[in-house]
């Protein structure tokens, strides 16, 4: 295990941890978005899907076991991703205490700043989102196991829909920059491959953002009721 500690202490190690945990989190966000598309098929389909998530693996394993394993993996990824990002930021500041203020690197610092603020917005959103649609703590008419009802009545409140839209736009930028810098960390710099990198990062970020933003908009516009 010590080799991992030594590796993680280096900047390269932290970037690798960010890339691996980022890919896992990205995979989750993609699957979550695909699952949520069932909103358009109606209450039976969406609620059945939510039930499947809890029943996954049973009766081989107790109900909710697989769900809890995936929750723990996600949580470990989130903690490592945020820890590596924070330490890398501190390392960068210490290596360059004067800052870029007088230098001509506007796009590099813009991307980095977006990543940090985007990360903070997404983290705050996930806490709100769990209290809203998973535990129902901040949902005014939460019904346990009626996911369709919770989503639709939740998004009928305009400012809740706005919170989801803003957070998912921030997530879209974060995914785009994140995928992009992951390729850079992995050393994929070949010009021909570079074109594909941009196309890949753009397509995934746009598809995920468009679908996620469409859910609150569909409810607000009355398309989904
Ligand atoms: C408009 C977009 C979204 C919708 C409609 C949505 C909907 C939902 C719903 C209905 C649940 C509860 C599922 C259940 O109890 O069975 C849920 C859980 C969850 N969502 Fe989302 N979600 C959205 C975006 C996101 C995003 C962008 C993230 C992460 C960045 C996210 C992370 C989670 C997590 C971690 C859970 C808890 C899963 C669990 O362990 O039970 N969601 N979401």
- Where in the chain are the domains? 2-220
% the chain with pLDDT above 90: 64
217, 165 Cβ separation under 8 angstroms: yes
Residue 9 CB–ligand 1 contact under 6 Å: no
Query: What is the pLDDT of the chain when averaged over all its residues?
Result: 89
Residue 218 has pLDDT above 80, yes or no: yes
Rounded to the nearest whole angstrom, what is the distance from the C-alpha of residue 111 to the centroid of ligand 1? Answer: 26
Q: How confident is the model at residue 101 (pLDDT cuts 50, 70, 90)?
A: low
User: What pLDDT digit, counting tens, does each position of 47-85 carry?
Assistant: 999 999 999 888 889 988 999 999 999 999 999 999 999
Ligand 1 atom nearest 213 alpha carbon:
1
- Residue owning the nearest CA to atom 3 of ligand 1: 212
Question: How many angstroms from the chain centroid is the CA of residue 187?
Answer: 23
The pLDDT score that the predictor gives to residue 205 is: 95
Rounded to the nearest whole angstrom, what is the distance from the C-alpha of residue 129 to the centroid of ligand 1? Answer: 7
The pLDDT score that the predictor gives to residue 106 is: 53
User: What pLDDT digit, counting tens, does each position of 104-114 carry?
Assistant: 455 556 667 78
Alpha carbon distance, N-terminus to C-terminus of the chain: 52
Residue 149 CB–ligand 1 contact under 6 Å: no
Residue 43 has pLDDT above 70, yes or no: yes
Q: Domain 2-220 belongs to what architecture? A: Up-down Bundle (1.20)
Length of the chain counted residue by residue: 225
User: What pLDDT digit, counting tens, does each position of 187-214 carry?
Assistant: 766 777 778 888 888 999 999 999 999 9
| Alpha helices per DSSP H over 97-190 | 106-129, 147-155, 158-185
Residue 56 CB–ligand 1 contact under 6 Å: no
The pLDDT score that the predictor gives to residue 143 is: 97
Q: How far is CA 146 from CA 39, 137, 152, 221, in A?
A: 12, 15, 10, 21
Ligand 1 atom nearest 122 alpha carbon:
30
Rounded to the nearest whole angstrom, what is the distance from the C-alpha of residue 195 to the centroid of ligand 1? Answer: 32
Residue 100 has pLDDT above 60, yes or no: no
What average pLDDT score do residues 134-151 get?
96
Ligand 1 atom nearest 164 alpha carbon:
1
205, 33 Cβ separation under 8 angstroms: no
């Amino acid at each position: 295990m010590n080799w991992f500690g030594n590796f993680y202490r280096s900047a390269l190690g932290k970037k690798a941890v960010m890339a691996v945990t980022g890919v896992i989190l990205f995979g989750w966000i993609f699957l979550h978005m695909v699952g949520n598309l069932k909103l358009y098929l109606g209450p039976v389909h969406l609620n059945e899907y939510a039930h499947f998530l809890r029943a996954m693996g049973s009766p081989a394993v107790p109900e909710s076991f697989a769900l809890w394993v995936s929750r723990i993996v996600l949580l470990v990824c989130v903690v490592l991703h945020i820890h590596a990002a924070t330490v890398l930021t501190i390392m960068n500041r210490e290596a360059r205490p004067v800052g870029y203020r007088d230098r001509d690197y506007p796009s590099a610092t813009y991307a980095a700043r977006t990543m940090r603020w985007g990360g903070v917005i997404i983290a705050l959103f996930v806490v709100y989102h769990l209290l809203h649609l998973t535990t129902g703590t901040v949902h005014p008419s939460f019904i346990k196991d009626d996911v369709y009802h919770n989503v639709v009545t939740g998004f009928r409140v305009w400012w809740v829909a706005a919170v989801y839209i803003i957070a998912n736009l921030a997530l879209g930028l974060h995914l785009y920059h994140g995928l992009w810098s992951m390729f850079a960390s992995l050393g994929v710099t070949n010009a021909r491959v570079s074109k594909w990198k941009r196309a890949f990062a753009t397509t995934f970020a746009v598809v995920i953002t468009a679908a996620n933003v469409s859910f609150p908009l569909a409810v607000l516009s009355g398309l989904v009721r």
